[in-house]
Amino acid sequence: KQEVTQIPAALSVPEGENLVLNCSFTDSAIYNLQWFRQDPGKGLTSLLLIQSSQREQTSGRLNASLDKSSGRSTLYIAASQPGDSATYLCAVTIGSYIPTFGRGTSLIVHP
């Protein structure tokens, strides 16, 4: 059974810092790994999707890496801004295409 763990559970940083959010999973036979953002009262927004054959994906100030052999992914946020405050969720998908989610990292970026 796939289990996904996210560390830290919560993070509070001043604006401008570079951040690393961590995700680990127990079964390395994944189809893809996805990072989502959730704002209060809103749905999940897909940030980055990394296929199993890829090592990383980048979008703007976000960079996600994937190391299947060690069962880890990191989401790097450069030059954080207050607008980045949200909950960040990691989800891994295996052959069934149904994602298994972590509990998320709650991020607060204060001015």
Partner 1 sequence: EAGVTQFPSHSVIEKGQTVTLRCDPISGHDNLYWYRRVMGKEIKFLLHFVKESKQDESGMPNNRFLAERTGGTYSTLKVQPAELEDSGVYFCASSPNRADTQYFGPGTRLTVL
Q: Which residues of this chain interact with partner 1, rule CB under 8 A?
A: 4, 31, 34, 36, 41-46, 49, 89, 91, 96-104
Compute the least distance from the CB of residue 103 to partner 1, in Å: 5
Residue 3 or 17: which CB sits closer to partner 1? Answer: 3
Residue in 40, 94, 28, 35 with CA at minimum distance from that of residue 60:
35
Length of the chain: 111
Shorter beta-carbon distance to partner 1: residue 80 or 105: 105
User: Which CB atom, from 90 or from 109, has the smaller least distance to partner 1?
Assistant: 90
| The two three-digit tokens of residue 93, written as one number | 């998908």
| 6-40-37-68 Cα dihedral, nearest 10 degrees | 20
Smallest distance, partner 1 to C-beta of residue 42, A: 5
Write down the least CB distance from residue 90 to partner 1, Å. Answer: 10
Q: What is the radius of gyration, based on Cα positions, of the chain?
A: 13
Query: Residue 84 is encoded by which pair of tokens?
Result: 């980045």
